[in-house]
């Protein structure tokens, strides 16, 4: 049985169709990359799964339909979203942000401790009392991932974790994600497809809200399909173009 199963997902904002009938299934281990150009519908997919935007279609997590559930309840089931832009509490410290993440554990308990997060990201161990708003982008991303981990995710969804990071910092974040994916299934949204493909075993490529590829990352090796999805071609861009 799939851990996460999405069928016929449709997200609209007014007249814009952001996700246009997406089917996607994830097993209970491994990492899946959700790829595509700007505006392809990647973030909207994650937001729909975590109950942040209205949608049509069915999302089932570990056999439970998420229809009508609040984002808080979905997070307490262990489906945890690290949004684009990190969304930390700026006026809380590193440690306090991590402690807030523990509330997503609900009654499940377990998962990473704050100490485990500091083992994963030693740079944070040095600055537990620093206010989040003063952190660099890379440190913020580490706290955002750590905050998800202490919530004991059963599946973790990350939206563009490397956005705005230097190549070296992005590499540190990706090394941690590789370790995380070894024990928790990861659904990873990225613009930076080469980084994502290095840690994922499966991929879905979106163009204008529709899947143009679903399968093993090996099937993307020759690059043509990704080139088309990111830079445009008639086959890779069904439906009308959106800005």
The contact set with ligand ATP (CB under 6 A) reads 13, 16, 18, 36, 38-44, 191, 242
Whose Cβ is closer to ligand ATP: residue 114's or residue 170's? 170
Whose Cβ is closer to ligand ATP: residue 38's or residue 91's? 38
The answer to whether the beta carbons of residues 225 and 35 sit under 8 Å apart is no
Q: What is the CA radius of gyration of the chain?
A: 17
Whose Cβ is closer to ligand ATP: residue 59's or residue 114's? 59
Dist CA 116 CA 99 (whole Å): 13
Whose Cβ is closer to ligand ATP: residue 10's or residue 42's? 42
- CA-to-CA separations, 139 to 130, 152, 162, 199, 234, in angstroms, rounded: 11, 20, 12, 21, 40
Please report how close the Cβ of residue 73 comes to ligand ATP at its closest, in angstroms: 22
The answer to whether the beta carbons of residues 124 and 139 sit under 8 Å apart is yes
Please report how close the Cβ of residue 145 comes to ligand ATP at its closest, in angstroms: 19
Please report how close the Cβ of residue 242 comes to ligand ATP at its closest, in angstroms: 4
Please report how close the Cβ of residue 53 comes to ligand ATP at its closest, in angstroms: 8
CB neighbours (10 Å) of residue 235? 11
Lookup result for tokens 């204008």: 208
């Amino acid at each position: 049985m799939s851990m996460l199963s999405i069928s016929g997902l449709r997200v609209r904002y007014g007249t814009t169709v952001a996700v246009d009938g997406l089917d996607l299934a994830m097993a209970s281990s491994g990492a899946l990359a959700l790829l595509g150009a700007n505006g392809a519908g990647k973030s909207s997919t994650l937001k729909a799964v975590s109950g942040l935007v209205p949608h049509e279609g069915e999302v089932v997590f570990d056999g439970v339909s998420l229809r009508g559930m609040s984002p808080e309840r979905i997070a307490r089931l262990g489906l945890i979203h690290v949004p684009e832009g990190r969304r930390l509490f700026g006026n809380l410290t590193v440690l306090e942000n991590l402690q807030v993440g523990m509330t997503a554990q609900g009654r499940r308990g377990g998962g990473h401790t704050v100490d485990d997060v500091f083992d994963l990201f030693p740079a944070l161990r040095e600055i537990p009392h620093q206010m989040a708003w003063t952190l660099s982008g890379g440190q913020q991303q580490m706290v955002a991932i750590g905050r998800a981990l202490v919530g004991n995710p059963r599946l973790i969804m990350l939206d563009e974790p490397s956005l705005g990071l230097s190549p070296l910092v992005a590499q540190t974040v990706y090394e941690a994600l590789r370790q995380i994916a070894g024990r928790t299934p990861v659904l990873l949204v990225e613009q930076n497809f080469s980084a994502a493909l290095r840690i994922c075993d499966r991929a879905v490529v979106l163009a204008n809200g529709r899947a143009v590829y679903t399968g093993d990352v090996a099937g993307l090796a020759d690059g043509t399909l990704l080139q088309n999805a990111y830079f445009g071609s008639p086959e890779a861009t069904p439906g009308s173009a959106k800005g």
